Amino acid sequence: MTDTRLYIEGGRKISGSLSVHGAKNSVLPVLAATLLSPSVSRIKNCPALSDVYSSTRILGSLGCKCRSDKSAIEVDATALSDCEISESLMREMRSSIVFLGAILGRLRRCRLSFPGGCELGPRPIDIHISGLRSLGAKIIEDHGVLDCTLPGTVTGAVINLPLPSVGATENIMLAATIGSGVTLIHNAAREPEIKDLAGFINAMGGKISGAGSSTVTVEGVEKLHGAEFSVMPDRIVAATYMGAAAITGGELMLTGVRPSDMISTISQFEQMGCGVYPYSDRIFISAKKPLNPIKTVRTAPYPGFPTDCQPILMAVLTRARGTSVIVENIFENRFRAAPELRRLGADIKAEGRVAVVEGVPRLSGSPVVATDLRAGAALVLAGLAAEGTTTVSNINYIDRGYEQLEAALKSVGARIKRV
Ligand code: EPZ
């Protein structure tokens, strides 16, 4: 961990306008999908994130050529030569597991080390593995390495996911695209990022329908061609910016967003008493009144309230007038922002999957440590509202999912700098 930190002088209202960059959780599977065709694809609206650079390094290690210009990345996957992802690259970014389906789809063979757990708890891949086995994959796990082969062509399958796993849905879509027959994925994840991935694969000549619903249908095709695609806006970054306005009692115009992806998130901000005005590709939020608590908020698979927004909402609720209860139903260890928020004066009791947040009249600045991507963002939001100076360290976590967060917040009135 580098010792670069964010220094924040709290107590200033956020106000102004911010554009929202492309979605991390869409660009990662889309970059993996470029492997499916021995050609050149151009991915636009790519965010400048460390997870994106990790993905281009993985593509490079497999024999692809990546070229980025401004916010587009061009991937030439013609010379895909290797089917193995090194342990160090897998450890750098656990969501590299989504390359498994893409490499199998193209080379019918893949070796990668088991993705480690992460800050949110063990990140099992049993649903990925059983889904790929339903497509005919032979997957051997030994000494922490997954050795996978996909003999012959995929001739279709009916797969019922035990829970709507985003990554597993994506991996099955990627592995089933090239082949014959039809694959049905029941209880598929419905996140907008799944629709984005289907949109890109279809632009390459794939035949995926039902993405965004609970049943995704993948009709096997013989081959794909390169395509140009623009990644959807990041709905979690948009929610984070809304949190900055809410926690400081300010107002923000967000541009380049898709409000229809954010209905459950917008409703939480409205319950806190914020004025939220969604238009076609923008959202205006104003938090002129003191914030109300939220009696109970539960995270759920899309279209429920996103687990990635839970730490963000927790930070904002530390300033609400009263008691809020948060139930985290997706990950088993996702209240890691709580102890650090308490160091800023928040009153939070987290027990298992339930956290009780008692609003406090003020927060006070303190050195705090980011423990994961969204917890780090939550600490930055709390620092914006805390009196005095807050320093946030381990901001490498934040750089995985936010493009220059400090520059964005500074442009709308925050006193924040990276040192
Ligand atoms: C994706 O992770 C996102 N990451 C996560 O965002 C997000 O929190 C998560 O979906 C839920 O929305 C990317 O898209 C790169 P899951 P993923 O498979 O695919 C369990 C962020 O902050 N599970 O839907 O790993 C799992 O343990 C990141 O941007 C199994 O049990 O999520 C979890 O409890 C964090 N077995 C639940 O399902 C499996 O084989 C949801 O996981 C797979 C998952």
The span from the CA of 198 to the CA of 193, in Å, is: 9
How crowded is residue 292: how many other Cβ atoms within 10 Å of its Cβ?
17
For residue 164, give the amino acid letter: P
Give the predicted TM-score (pTM) of the model: 0.97
**Interval between CA 401 and ligand 1 midpoint (Å):** 15
Greatest CA separation for the chain: 64
What is residue 116's predicted lDDT score, i.e. its pLDDT?
A: 63
Ligand 1 binding pocket, CB closer than 6 Å:
24-25, 28, 95, 123-128, 163, 165-168, 189, 307-308, 330-331, 373-374, 401
What is residue 166's predicted lDDT score, i.e. its pLDDT?
A: 98
What is residue 387's predicted lDDT score, i.e. its pLDDT?
A: 97
Q: Which atom of ligand 1 is nearest to the CA of 126?
A: 40
What is residue 117's predicted lDDT score, i.e. its pLDDT?
A: 61
Domains in the chain: ranges and CATH: 6-21+233-418 (3.65.10.10), 24-230 (3.65.10.10)
Kindly report the protein residue whose alpha carbon is nearest to atom 31 of ligand 1.
124
Which residue of the set 64, 66, 83, 118 is catalytic?
118
Kindly report the protein residue whose alpha carbon is nearest to atom 13 of ligand 1.
25
- Whether 31 and 57 have beta carbons less than 8 Å apart is answered as no
Select from 69, 94, 408 the least CA-distant residue to 237.
Answer: 408
Residue 315 φ/ψ, nearest 5 degrees: -60, -45
Among 165, 169, 330, residue to substitute to test ligand 1 (most atoms within 8 Å of Cβ):
165
Q: Which residues of the chain have pLDDT under 50?
A: none
**Interval between CA 7 and ligand 1 midpoint (Å):** 31
Written as six digits, the tokens of 31 are 């970059």
Kindly report the protein residue whose alpha carbon is nearest to atom 22 of ligand 1.
308
Asked if 274 is an active-site residue, the reply is no
What is residue 94's predicted lDDT score, i.e. its pLDDT?
A: 82
Kindly report the protein residue whose alpha carbon is nearest to atom 10 of ligand 1.
166
Bridge partners, residue 375, by sequence: none
**Interval between CA 166 and ligand 1 midpoint (Å):** 6
**Interval between CA 64 and ligand 1 midpoint (Å):** 27
H-only helix segments in 126-205: 126-134, 166-176, 192-203
